[in-house]
Structure 1
Amino acid sequence: MRLNKPAIFIAPLLTLLYFRTFIWLLNSWLTEPYYSHGFLIPLISAFILWRNIHEFKERPREGTSNPEADLESEPLPFKPGIFIFAFGLILYIIGFLTIFPFLSALSFLFTTSGLILYFYGKPLMRASIFPIAFLIFAFPMPSLYFEKAAYTMQALSARYPAALLHLLGIPVTRVGAEIHVTDSSFVIGLPCSGMNSLISLLALAALFIYLLHCPRYKKALLLCLAVPIALLANILRVTALLLIAHAYGAETASGFFHTLFSPLLFILAVIFLILMSVVMRCKVKGG
């Protein structure tokens, strides 16, 4: 596919326009532990985009039955794409004027999609839609919504482990996010709320679901299941640590096992998500 000359000039202009936004993203990835995975997202998106375009260009043309085969010929611009581009610019301006960098970052998805549609048409947009949408997992959530979600996760991660210990007959007292068991006290802070696992699992789930061959409603259901799966994994993690603290003391629970359980339960959450996809009879593309 040949590049339209205007697109060659617009790409660096778009980079300059979003330079401040890119710096904000880079700083967030470096300083916010919840989004330390942000560096990987653009790399994954770029690889998927390259793979999609390469696969479409390698496919033999079969008349009009294979719309992606148009990628081998001259691009067919889709003029209404300019409206999506304009909408993205409006979002960017609002984000810039209100000092709301998340909105400016979000606008990048629309401006890029609009330009692809306008210059190259629907075939390339079909190849680009997931890689572009996947970038949203690299954008730090606005603090207002993040804190609401984190405090909710924190409350649930304190309430249910305490309830489980009570069912097991272990003396336990909970005051807000503070749990007292035997001679030990634990505070379920925001870092232990499970938000880190939730954000990472959602991104990984979206990537995994994209690779599956199954109806869209099943894909949507799997993505929604990532939230309770992440929450359940964190509840089990906190419960296990409290059981260890009850049996062996707080120092044992807050040392090696505290470090071990975070990645271990995340891996179990991923395995459970894969098992759910098998139950739904979803298969990996090409598998």
Structure 2
Amino acid sequence: MVSLVSMSSLGGAAFWVTRLLPVLLVFLYAYWPTLVWMEDTWSREPDYSHGYLVPLLAAMLLWHRTATFPGVRAEPSYAGLSLVLLAVVMRLAGRLLYMDFLDAYSILPLIAGVVWVLIGPEALVWALPAIGFLFFMIPLPYQAESLLSWKLQGIATGLSTGLLRVFGQPAVSEGHVIWIAEQRLVVEQACSGLRIFIGVAALAFFWAVMADRNWRDRVVLLVAVVPLAILVNALRIVSVGLLYKWFESESMRAAIHDWTGYLMIPVAFALLWLLKVYWQSLYRPVEQLTAKDFVPSSSTGNA
């Protein structure tokens, strides 16, 4: 029979010092170059600037779920070494093939394996959403990033051209270029919407885990990420195209380009939040219903 021990009966900080602190020190020593590479990418690439927040939000997910913590196994679960071994293989492959991203992705099975071994498989299931959320702090492989950006560029160009025509503009697209009369608007890779897409996906995942809802509501929130991110980026391109007609100064156009990019991220978050609130108002959990929800409205007459 498996014995689980509550956190309060583990001698407080002594448990974490004896079990987790040595592992944490070894992890920092072994993965320091990888962590430095990720931080450098966060600081240089706007698409991944959210990486600084991901570990903090993952910790918030764990804190939110403390009430359901299953306890700690009294004895180590050595089956978890299989995930640690997987992380080692991934890291060796990343080093041999010069794939930094594979080295970084090995952090996920390593953390999962350590939790499994030191705390138990029940705790691994409990912590899995927070561990999975750490995926968003790791830069995408170059090939995947380029392919995704190229696809998003094409979709954003086509949708933006259509929206500009709705606003009465003589817009025509050629590849990733939009012509508005004599004005040429290039939808570059940096304007593909990848930053909005990743940011909205991370926020949707965070809300899906935090929300006390069923799986259907969480899936709806995650599925909404793709069309919402595409729409918001298209609105940004349309805004730039319309404002460029009023401002011809290069300095003003540079400011418009930058500030519309900054503003679209909170706009995307606000739209996602509105969708979340609207969906929750339509489908409330049974435990939140009251007697009024089952009483016919007085304005409804009998046939």
8 Å CA contact 2:136–2:202 kept in 1: the answer is yes
1:195 corresponds to 2:194: yes
Larger CA deviation: 261-270 vs 16-25: 261-270
- TM normalised by structure 2 equals 0.79
Amino acid at match of 2:33: R
Matched position secondary structure for 2:185: strand
Q: 1:31 aligns with which of 36, 44, 47?
A: 44
Q: Does the CA-based 8 Å contact 1:52-1:127 persist in structure 2?
A: no
User: Are the aligned partners of 1:184 and 1:250 in contact in 2 as well (CA < 8 Å)?
Assistant: no
Map of 2:204 onto structure 1: 205
Q: Please state whether the residue corresponding to 1:214 is helix, strand or coil.
A: coil
Task: Give the direction of change, closer, same or farther, for the CA distance of 1:221–1:182 in structure 2 (3 Å limit).
Answer: same
Normalised to the residue count of structure 1, the TM-score between the two structures is 0.83
For residues 268 and 183 of structure 2, what CA distance do their matches in structure 1 show? 28
Q: Which residue of 2 aligns with 1:59?
A: none
The residue type equivalent to 1:222 in the other structure is L
Q: Deviations over 1:180-227 (max 9, x none)?
A: 213322111111111111111111221122211112233133112112
1:158-185 Cα shifts (integer Å, max 9, x gaps): 1222123334443223221122213322
1:113-152 → structure 2 map (5 Å cutoff) = 113-152=112-151
Match of 2:57 among 44, 59, 62: 44
Structure 2: runs of 5 or more not aligned: 1-6, 8-14, 289-303
Deviation at 1:251, TM superposition (A): 4.3
Identity %: 24
Conservation of the 8 A alpha-carbon contact between 2:196 and 2:268: no
**Which residue does the alignment assign to 2:297?**
none
Q: Distance in 2 between matches of 1:231 and 1:177?
A: 15
- Could you say what the CA RMSD is over the residues aligned between the two structures, in angstroms? 2.7
Aligned residue type for 1:44? L
Instruction: Tell me, yes or no, if the aligned pair for 1:230 and 1:266 is still in contact at 8 Å.
Output: no
In 2, the alpha carbon distance for the partners of 1:190 and 1:280 equals: 33
C-alpha offsets along residues 45-98 of structure 1, whole Å, 9 cap, x if unaligned? 23443x257x34xxxxxxxxx7x3535xx6453332111221121111111211
Q: Is the 8 Å Cα contact of residues 64 and 210 (structure 2) preserved in structure 1?
A: no
* Residue aligning to 2:95: 96
Q: CA 1:223–1:272 in 2, change beyond 3 Å: closer, same or farther?
A: same
Give the distance between the partners of 2:168 and 2:19, measured in 1 at CA.
71
Contact 1:151 1:193 in 2 (8 A): yes
**Equivalent position of 1:70 in the other structure:** 71
1:254 match: 253
3-state DSSP of counterpart to 2:169 = coil
How far apart, CA to CA, are the structure 2 residues paired with 1:222 and 1:121? Answer: 31
Q: Which amino acid aligns with 2:82?
A: F
Three-state SS of the structure 1 residue aligned to 2:179 is: strand
Give the secondary-structure state (helix, strand or coil) at the position aligned to 1:236. helix
Cα gap change, 1:269 to 1:129, in 2 (>3 Å): same
Q: Take 1:39 and 1:267, find their aligned partners in 2: how far apart are those partners?
A: 17
Write the mapping of 1:2-21 to structure 2, written as runs, cut at 5 A: 2-3=15-16, 5=18, 7-21=20-34
Identify if the C-alpha distance between structure 1 residues 80 and 175 changes in structure 2 by more than 3 Å, giving closer, same or farther.
same
Q: 2:201·2:225 contact (CA, 8 Å) conserved in 1?
A: yes
The CA deviation string for residues 93-127 of structure 1, in whole angstroms up to 9 with x for no partner, is 11121111111111111011111111111343244
5+ residue gaps, structure 1: 57-65
Q: Distance in 2 between matches of 1:31 and 1:283?
A: 43
Q: Give the C-alpha shift of residue 140 in structure 1.
A: 0.5
Alpha-carbon shift at residue 139 of structure 1 (Å): 0.5
